[in-house]
Amino acid sequence: MTIPASHADILESTALVHVATIGPDGKPQNTPVWFGWDGTHVLFSLTTARQKYRNLKAAPDVALSMVDVANAYRYLEIRGTVVEIADDPENAFINSMAKKYLGQDVYPWHQPTDHRVVVKVLPTHTTQMG
């Protein structure tokens, strides 16, 4: 799946990605999170204590949407599948997101009991506007 060139810039921006998963009751859950893009996958961080983590472990299909930070009428939606959930014991990924979004080298809200993972989503379908 190739991201349309017309909207690829959104993946390099500081937009938030709204991550929609399906909960154990079959109903959707949607939360905005920081994200990264490696040219093929959308990546985001979660703690294993979160419902979203349990949702993704049970059902790896996900819908992501992000709005252009410079134009609220321009967006990119990505549907895809979680292809990997990897431990992030040194918080390297969340620290890189703190640098991207806050200009800080270390994620400031880390708690000693947090067990962080990096979720890697492979896009399978996109829609866009603007």
Domain regions of the chain by residue span:
5-129
CA distance 66 to 107: 22
* pLDDT at residue 43, as a whole number: 98
Distance of alpha carbon 85 from alpha carbon 48, whole angstroms? 10
Structure tokens at 75: 């967006």
Tokens found for residue 53: 């983590």
Q: How confident is the model at residue 2 (pLDDT cuts 50, 70, 90)?
A: confident
Enter the pTM of the model.
0.95
Q: How far is it, in rounded angstroms, from Cα 106 to Cα 95?
A: 5
CATH number for the domain formed by residue range(s) 5-129: 2.30.110.10
pLDDT, tens digit (0-9, with 9 covering 90-100), for 108-130: 999 999 999 999 999 999 999 99
Residue 73 is predicted with a pLDDT of 96
